[in-house]
Amino acid sequence: MFVVARGIVCALLIVCSVPCRAAEPATLRVSVIPTSVLAPLYAGIKYGYFKEEGLNIDLAPTAGGAIGIPGLVGGSYDIAFSNNVSALSAVAQGIDVQLLAPFPEGAADETAVIARKGEGIKTGRDLAGKTVAVNTNRNVIWLYVREWIRKTGGDPAQVTFREVAFPQMIDALKQKQIDAAFQINVFVIAAGKDPALEIVSFPYREVQPKVQPSQFLATRKFIEGNKDKVARFLKALKRGNEWFDAHIGKDELFSLVAEFTKLPEAVVREMKFQPVAKKVDADELEKTRDLMKREGLLKADVDVKKMIYAE
């Protein structure tokens, strides 16, 4: 009798434990950097879209995107924020990563080449013999500034490229340690207000106006083993995207971005926000791949269509 009762209790416990476990949210570890393009992800977290999909997003913020892919391969992250050049390099080196989702458009209007005012730097041709700052050599910023120099009559071989972190570029420029810098949004805004500096050009506009530099990546191995989790992640992210699109120019978006980037809200209000791209664009990725090949950044050929995750 006691044995039967114990059996019933055990059976009940097993039956109960299944729904209990199912109710526990699954965790996804996502590497992020403090950039405004991640606003849809943060909106999804803030407004509970991921929770509603049974997902707990464990954010792993890093200061730069450099550790995103190594962290992904090493298993520290499930999904990493990275860029198109790093993703293509990874695939060419046999690291099987896939691009999961598009980001807000408008990279072409946010990143600019800046220089000291009155020194006559207007095009790539004016940079012959000069020094240009990039955040990382042989990565996305370096690649596109070189192409911009070429397109505007210059020769990248005659330009010295120096690695300087984005926050230090303006000071380096003013102290004449460099002659121009390819900068990201917040610092472009700061440079625009500085009487000693001027915005020379928005290189993406001239090289590849529809470029999609930012990506969410995951390894194919992870995606195949966690198809349901990835689908739920993308579903919640889509709602975050919709929220983002609906709040462009509104206070809620400004305060959300100020909150996670820790930027002063006054600066955030000056940023240009564009709607989220409808899809990861293979044609744009092909253009990036071809540029990389020309600069010798890709040794192996990459089929970009296979890199884009299709649900």
Partner 1 sequence: MSVVGTLEGASSKPSAAGSIRRRLGPRLYGVLLIAAILLFWEVSSRLGWIVSAYWPPVTKILWAAISQLGGGDILVSLAATLRRALTGYAIGSVLGIALGILLGKSKVLRIALLPLIEIVRPIPTPAVIPPLILFLGVDDALKIFAISLATFFPVFTNTFAGVATVDDTLIQTARTFRTSWARTLLRVVLPATLPAIAAGLRTATSLALVVAVVSEMVAGSSGIGYYLVEMQYALRPDLMYAAVMYLAITGYAVNRLFLVLEARLIPWMGKT
Contact status: 63 vs partner 1 (CB under 8 A): yes
**Nearest distance from C-beta of residue 141 to partner 1, angstroms:** 15
Contact status: 214 vs partner 1 (CB under 8 A): no
Contact status: 267 vs partner 1 (CB under 8 A): yes
Size of the site for partner 1 (CB under 8 A): 32
SS3 247: coil
Beta-strand ranges (E) seen in 123-159 are 131-134
Q: What are phi and psi of 92, to 5 degrees?
A: -65, -25
Residues 6+ apart with CB under 8 A from 282: 304, 305, 308
Contact status: 115 vs partner 1 (CB under 8 A): no
**Nearest distance from C-beta of residue 42 to partner 1, angstroms:** 15
Query: Site mask, partner 1, residues 75-94, x = CB under 8 A?
Result: xxx-----------------
Residues 6+ apart with CB under 8 A from 92: 298, 299, 300, 301, 302
Query: Site mask, partner 1, residues 21-40, x = CB under 8 A?
Result: ----------x--x------
By CB atoms closer than 10 A (0-12, 13-18, 19+), residue 241 is buried
Among 67, 113, 181, 217, binds partner 1 (CB under 8 A): 67
Euclidean distance between CA atoms 25 and 188, whole angstroms = 40
Among 26, 51, 54, 60, binds partner 1 (CB under 8 A): 60
Q: Tell me whether residue 13 or residue 165 sits nearer to partner 1 (CB atom).
A: 165
DSSP summary character for residue 48: T
Candidates 105, 50, 104; CA nearest to 79 is 50
Contact status: 71 vs partner 1 (CB under 8 A): yes
Contact status: 186 vs partner 1 (CB under 8 A): yes
On whether the CB atoms of residues 22 and 236 are closer than 8 A, the answer is no
**Nearest distance from C-beta of residue 177 to partner 1, angstroms:** 13
Residue type, 55: L
Contact status: 139 vs partner 1 (CB under 8 A): no
Euclidean distance between CA atoms 208 and 213, whole angstroms = 10
What is the binding site for partner 1 (CB under 8 A)?
31, 34, 59-64, 66-67, 70-71, 73-77, 165-168, 170-171, 174, 186, 190, 196, 261-264, 267
